[in-house]
Structure 1
Amino acid sequence: MHLRGRWWLILTFITPGLVLYSVFVLSSFAQGVQISFTNWTGFTPTLEYVGLDNYVRMARDGAWWRAVSHNAVLLVIIPVVTLGLALLLATLITRGGSGTLRAVRGAGAYRVLFFFPQVVPVVIIGIMFSYIYASRGGLLDGLLRLVGTDILAVVPNGPLGNPRTILLAIALAAVWSSVGFYMVLFLSAMSGVPQELYEAASLDGAGRLRSFAHVTLPLIWSHAQTALIYLAIGTLDSYALVAVMSMTGTAADSGADVMSTYLYRTAFSFNSQFGYASAMGTVMMLGSVALALVTFRLTKREELDY
């Protein structure tokens, strides 16, 4: 088949997808950017353009910057802990001994067990952890009572009622829900590493730690890089989990407000300020792209063939 014929075949398959993506995704982004330059409330039939007023207001909004700082905290905790645990679990399940690359006994059951939280809806996970952290009758409170204390004695107002602990409590729930997915991703990558490389490392006197650092990690680095970018972008949103676990009307809510929850309240609670909320959404969109590019640049390494 000539090149021209192949191009027609390719266009035939990708055009419907491109049209749907343009209509339902790109056009929505463009409309959001347009609305960000207006003071639209979401109910008037016309748009009144106000230029960069919404962006100037955002730069001076202390509540917005507080939400940004909370996102920054989550961006440090969730990716580092999640990917660290995923790598650890994948290594423990895969490495059956020094100089070998074989699954430990029951590896299939471990995969299913750790991956299970990934198929549970985020809302259900948020509700479940809210009960775990509950000050009265929660699982954590019950465990502490076995040793003669309770959750309120350890954390005043409970993990979700204390501004100092609510972000950490939400981050732990996010880690629990995601670590299994990335463990399976790393297991898949590790299965492609040649056995001979581990045997050679073992003959050179390398133990498990050195084999992981000098054989496994360099050869699965592209998977780790993709996982980091994907997880970082997801953490930048974090709306569903934060909304379920922190929107309780307590004073601690401000301790967990992130950009997406502040955007939601601006659009639907604070006199329907859709123009201002669209400006926040535009900044979040640009921030996601910038975050992906910066992360890719900082984690870029020379690819190794094997």
Structure 2
Amino acid sequence: MRKGRVPFIITFLAPPLLLYVVFVLSPFVQGIQISFTNWTGFTPNFDYVGFQNYTALIGDSAWWHAVTNNLKLLIVIPIVTLALALAFATLLTRGGTGGTQHGLAGQRLYRVVYFFPQVIPVVIVAIMFQFIYSTQSGLLQQTLDFIGIDLLELIPNGPLGNRDFILWAIVIAAVWSTVGFYMVLFIAGMQQIPREFFEAAAIDGAGRVRMFFHLTLPLLWGHVQVSLVHIGVGALDMFALMSVMARNGVSADYGGDVMATQLYRTAFALNSQFGYASAMATMLLGFSVLLAVLTFRITRRERLEY
């Protein structure tokens, strides 16, 4: 039986590995290769220019503006999203007195409501929030009118027309659309923690806050670590939301530029500079890998067994 196990395993692993190499690794390698050329993307000829595209990036103010926006997203989105997800998950699993009760009444309904945005396509979320932020009878405008506040006085040109506010308006949409996914992930982790731990902590006089930070969070740290990497890589992308919500044809669009939208515009709008855009994509790939490595190193701690 052991003798035929290796060929059996290889038989099942070979097709997916082949597909991964052809459709994932191969495009990465080709993209890195193109980043060292001056290819326009539409001609069969190109010249290798060495590190010229990368040195040009160093002096590209538009690129560094996009990088700065991504760094802002990288700080705000994980903190806000994971904090809300942890809060919701805790309320729906340990919502009783002292935190020992298994969930609140109607918790299944709450889970569906909170998770529902996750099943909506990102483009639909972007279009929906465009209507919400609209200064012409948008939901936000109508709500503020009801309490006697003018949206245009509060935010000149509206949330998506204000260069200083557009990035944060899109952050709200991003958090709303993703918090349900991480809530469900944390609920799954919390349900694996034995109830006796919480009962013992409650008997010892631990309150909800202390119980969360000294019991729930340490035992849930593996889930938090993976979530940080996942949402961090997502914050370095943000292409779908930005390409829809920050493309209104006004000067405020510049305030919503990120690396993904900048490289897309470079490849398909600015004289089809595929070589230069590939250098941007390679830098984005490097940032993503570096983020994952640093996150796992910084958040690494001894695994708690229970």
CA displacement 1:179-227 (0-9 Å, x = unmatched):
0010010000000100111111111110111111111000010001101
Q: How many Å separate the matches in 2 of 1:233 and 1:52?
A: 26
Gaps of 5+ in 1: none
Residue 122 (structure 2) aligns with = 122
Q: CA deviation at 1:101?
A: 3.9
For 1:291, the aligned partner's letter is L
1:295 match: 295
Tell me the distance in 2 between the aligned counterparts of 1:17 and 1:11. 10
Q: Which residue of 2 aligns with 1:239?
A: 239
Q: Secondary structure at the match of 2:163?
A: coil
- 8 Å CA contact retained: 1:39, 1:49: yes
The aligned residue for residue 252 of structure 1 is 252
- The structural deviation recorded for 1:163 is 1.1
Q: Give the Cα–Cα distance (whole angstroms) in 2 for the partners of residues 184 and 105 of structure 1.
A: 17
Match of 2:113 in 1: 113
Q: Is the 8 A contact 1:35 1:274 kept in 2?
A: yes
Distance 1:209 1:5 in 2: 54
Show the 5 A alignment for 1:40-79. Answer: 40-79=39-78
After superposition, the Cα gap between the structure-2 partners of 1:99 and 1:147, relative to the gap in structure 1 and judged at 3 Å, is closer
SS in 2 for 1:248: coil
Quickly say closer, same or farther: Cα 1:101–1:298, change in 2 above 3 A: farther
Q: Offset at 1:117?
A: 0.2
Q: 2:269: which partner in 1?
A: 269
Tell me if the contact between 1:32 and 1:282 (Cα under 8 Å) persists in the aligned partners. Answer: yes
Please, which moves more after superposition, 99-108 or 56-65?
99-108
Q: 1:240, 1:179 → 2: CA distance? A: 17
Deviation at 1:47? 2.2
Distance apart, 1:5 and its partner CA:
2.8
What is the CA–CA distance in structure 2 between the aligned matches of 1:52 and 1:277, rounded to whole Å? 13
Cross-structure match for 1:38: 37
* 2:155 counterpart of 1:158: no
Post-superposition CA distance 1:243-284 (Å, at most 9, x none):
110101111011010000000000000000000000000111
**CA distance 1:184–1:43, change in 2 (3 Å):** same
8 Å CA contact retained: 1:116, 1:180: yes
**Cross-structure match for 2:192:** 192
State the one-letter code of the partner of 1:202.
Answer: A
State the alpha-carbon separation in 2 of the partners of residues 88 and 125 from structure 1. Answer: 23
What is the rounded CA distance, in whole Å, between the counterparts of 2:9 and 2:64 in structure 1? 46
Q: Which amino acid aligns with 1:284?
A: L
What is the root-mean-square deviation of aligned Cα atoms in Å?
0.9
In 2: Cα distance, 1:80 partner to 1:5 partner: 49
TM superposition score normalised by structure 1: 0.98
Q: 1:93-129 CA distances to partner (integer Å, 9 max, x unpaired)?
A: 1112215140211010011110000000000000000
Distance 1:103 1:147 in 2: 35
CA contact (8 A) 1:133 1:140 kept: yes
C-alpha contact (below 8 Å) 1:101/1:198 kept by paired residues: no
Q: Unpaired runs of 5+ in structure 2?
A: none
Map of 2:230 onto structure 1: 230
TM value normalised by structure 2 = 0.98
Please state whether the residue corresponding to 1:305 is helix, strand or coil. Answer: coil
The CA distance in 1 between the partners of 2:149 and 2:186, in whole Å, is 40
1:7 CA displacement: 2.0
For 1:296 and 1:183, locate their aligned partners in 2 and report how far apart those are by CA, in whole Å.
Answer: 21
* Secondary structure in 1 matching 2:97: coil
**Aligned partner letter, 1:147:** I
Question: How far, CA to CA, are the matches of 1:22 and 1:190 in structure 2?
Answer: 36
**Aligned-partner Cα distance in 1 for 2:192–2:150:** 48
How many pairs are equivalent?
Answer: 305
Residue 189 of structure 1 aligns with an amino acid whose one-letter code is G
Q: Do the aligned residues in 2 keep the contact of 1:142 with 1:150 (CA within 8 Å)?
A: no
**Which one-letter code corresponds to 1:68 in the other structure?**
V
Partner of 1:102: 102
Partner-residue secondary structure (3-state), 1:98 = helix
For the pair 1:18 / 2:17, whether they are aligned, the reply is: yes
CA, structure 1 residues 133+199, in 2 after alignment: closer, same or farther (shift >3 Å)? same
Change (3 A) 1:101 1:223: farther
Letter in 2 for 1:195: R
Determine the C-alpha separation between the residues in 1 that align with 2:203 and 2:7: 54
